Amino acid sequence: MKKIALLGSVIAFFAINTFAAENQELIKKAKEAGLEPIPSGKELRDYQLKKVKEIDLATGYNPKLTDAQIELGKKLYFDPRISSSNLISCNTCHNLALGGVDVVPVAIGEKWQKNPHHLNSPTVFNSVFNSVQFWDGRAHHLGDQAQGPIQNPVEMGAKPNLVVEKITSIPAYVDEFKKAYGNKVKIDFKLIADTIAMYETTLVTPSRYDDFLNGNPKALSKGEQEGLDIFIDKGCIACHNGINLGGTMQPFGVVKPYEFADVGDFKGDANGMVKVPTLRNIAETMPYFHNGQYWDVKDAIKEMGAIQLGISITDAEAKKIETFFGSLTGKKPLVIYPVLAPVTNKTPKPVF
């Protein structure tokens, strides 16, 4: 009996060590395939500061990602009064309680208008890791991106001078801008948008997947690791790579047309390139694709295999990749809804 028990222990020992070795091989394979973890600690702070400095280098208001700048950005992010109707905030379409999206196929804005191109709202979480912003990649920085929806007549519908007039009519906001940037600060539209962007740079969601890439083989289950391995082998990492598993511009419909290409008129940028959506928190950010036509991520996986890679991904393989995607659901930053200062008699009235 002792010999049998000893033999069992030896077998278990070798099995555990073999599994651990395989895990380390998969970590190495993932990194060699271009997958990167979210940086942490000082490295993350330096990354965020670099992105903030890229937003503005010339106007002199010295973005430093201070607590005051971030808190002010949060208030502006949640403030619906920036819109012409006083009803639409950044959080309306990029809801931090819903994975940073609105969970509808097409974005809805002022006067209940649908996006005219039938575009879906991308998640704001981890957007700091994108190389470009918007589906057509027309903005390279979050500050530039923030200016667009505010002015768009079917989103927030507010002209820059109206936004500035609203913010500067509220003494508490003026005081907070001075606290954030100094007494000589000039509150203009660009500064308002850039301040929103500073808050957005803090919306990162590290997950067990990052722990795995950082060397912890136990961070992912056996099923998740199997899904990751298939994800790499199928070639999904050709577009979904880097820190955000996306966020760069890539051709769309490489092998054959997307099934729902005629829903909306969006065809990408001038070269037919489309921003690759991040896969982080993908279990929470349905529906999928630029026009929000897939609700089941397994169907989206199979469609991508067909139109981008020219391969058939089976139901079983799609299910395993979906299992891996579960490890990309990250820890959200604590968000305490801000109390906003009241308007004054000088504040422009809402327009419907």
Signed CA dihedral, 214, 28, 131, 92: sign only: negative
Provide the angle, in degrees to the nearest 10, between the axes of the packed helices 160-168 and 189-200: 80
117 assigned ligand-binding residue? no
Q: Which residues does residue 249 pair with via DSSP β-bridges, in sequence order?
A: 275
Beta strands at 273-275 and 249-251: parallel, antiparallel or unpaired: antiparallel
| Helix H or strand E segment including 249 | strand 249-251
Calculate the alpha carbon distances from 343 to 57, 74, 83, 200 in Å: 32, 18, 14, 25
What is the CA 15 to chain-centroid distance, rounded?
39
93 assigned ligand-binding residue? yes
**Closest by Cα among 139, 101, 79 to 292:** 101
In 253-332, alpha helices (H): 297-304, 315-325
304 assigned ligand-binding residue? yes
Number of residues that make up the chain: 352
Under 8 Å between Cβ of 168 and 211: no
Query: Does residue 155 carry a catalytic annotation?
Result: yes
Amino acid, single-letter form, for residue 304: M
**Closest by Cα among 85, 125, 88, 130 to 107:** 88
290 assigned ligand-binding residue? no
240 assigned ligand-binding residue? yes
94 assigned ligand-binding residue? yes
| Helix H or strand E segment including 114 | none
**Secondary structure letter of residue 102 according to DSSP:** -
| Distance (Å, whole) CA 209 – CA 191 | 35
Q: Which of 32, 36, 54, 155 is catalytic?
A: 155
| Distance (Å, whole) CA 214 – CA 28 | 10
How many other CB atoms are there within 10 angstroms of residue 85's CB atom? 16
Signed CA dihedral, 234, 210, 195, 96: sign only: positive
Q: Which residues does residue 250 pair with via DSSP β-bridges, in sequence order?
A: 274
Spatial CB neighbours of 13, under 8 Å, sequence gap ≥ 6: none
Residues with a catalytic annotation lie at 155
The binding site for heme c comprises 90, 93-94, 236, 239-240, 304
The binding site comprises 90, 93-94, 236, 239-240, 304
